[in-house]
């Protein structure tokens, strides 16, 4: 009976160790948890929201306009923002409307804030050259903005972000449970 118990215990211990190693590998290379701090992505993401970030999606697929990403802002902080400009893009905001490479884009995710702001002006007018000194987004760089345009510190202030600073794409908001969302 003791031998059977020892053998069963070893099997359970081995399964737990293997499971732990698999969990650590998945967490390190595929997915990560983040908590939103601040209000720069409101109303899409709120302070305290908990997110799952897919770290491998951009190894398989390209970046797309309006993806929400997490990136290393500096050695201590990661930021969550929305991709507005991709490498090679020329961007202009005129009459608070986004134009990328001459094409007008609707930013439906701003609809709630637009209705709350006087005259519906959120982003203001600017050209990429005015805020970054460059006429287009350089290769291996992104231009990002927070959805709370009046209260976001983003590429309008600190310029482009290097693509290699991107941690991953936000795929899931799991907290609070009543705001569970799988895509943005």
| Residue of 40, 57, 152, 155 marked catalytic | 40
In the residue annotation, 40 being an active-site residue is answered as: yes
The pair of three-digit structure tokens given for residue 75, joined into one six-digit string: 């050695």
Nearest-5° Cα angle at 35, 32 to 38: 145
The angle at the Cα of 85, spanning 125 to 169, to the nearest 5 degrees, equals 125
- CA–CA distance, 156 with 143 (Å, rounded to integer): 8
Tell me if residue 183 is catalytic. no
Q: Which of 55, 81, 136, 169 is catalytic?
A: 81
For residue 88, give the 3-state DSSP assignment: coil
Q: Where are the alpha helices (DSSP H) in the chain?
A: 2-29, 57-60, 111-116, 128-132, 155-158
In b/e form, how buried is each residue of 159-170, taking b as 16+ CB within 10 angstroms? ebbebebbbbbb
Catalytic residues: 40, 81
């Amino acid at each position: 009976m003791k031998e059977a118990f020892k053998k069963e215990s070893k099997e359970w211990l081995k399964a737990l160790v293997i499971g732990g190693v698999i969990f650590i590998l998945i967490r390190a290379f595929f997915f990560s948890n983040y908590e939103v701090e601040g209000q720069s992505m409101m109303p899409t993401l709120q302070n305290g929201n908990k997110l799952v970030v897919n770290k491998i999606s951009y190894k398989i697929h390209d970046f797309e306009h309006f993806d929400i990403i997490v990136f290393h802002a500096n050695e201590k902080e990661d930021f969550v923002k929305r991709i507005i400009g991709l490498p090679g893009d020329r961007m202009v905001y005129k009459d608070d409307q986004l134009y990328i490479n001459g094409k007008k884009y609707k930013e439906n995710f701003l609809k709630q804030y637009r209705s709350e702001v006087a005259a519906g002006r959120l982003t203001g007018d600017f050209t990429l050259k005015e805020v970054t000194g460059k006429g287009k987004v350089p290769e291996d760089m992104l231009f990002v903005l927070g959805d709370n345009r009046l209260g976001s510190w983003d590429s309008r202030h600190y310029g482009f972000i290097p693509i290699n600073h991107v941690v991953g794409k936000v795929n899931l908001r799991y907290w609070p449970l009543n705001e569970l969302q799988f895509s943005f």
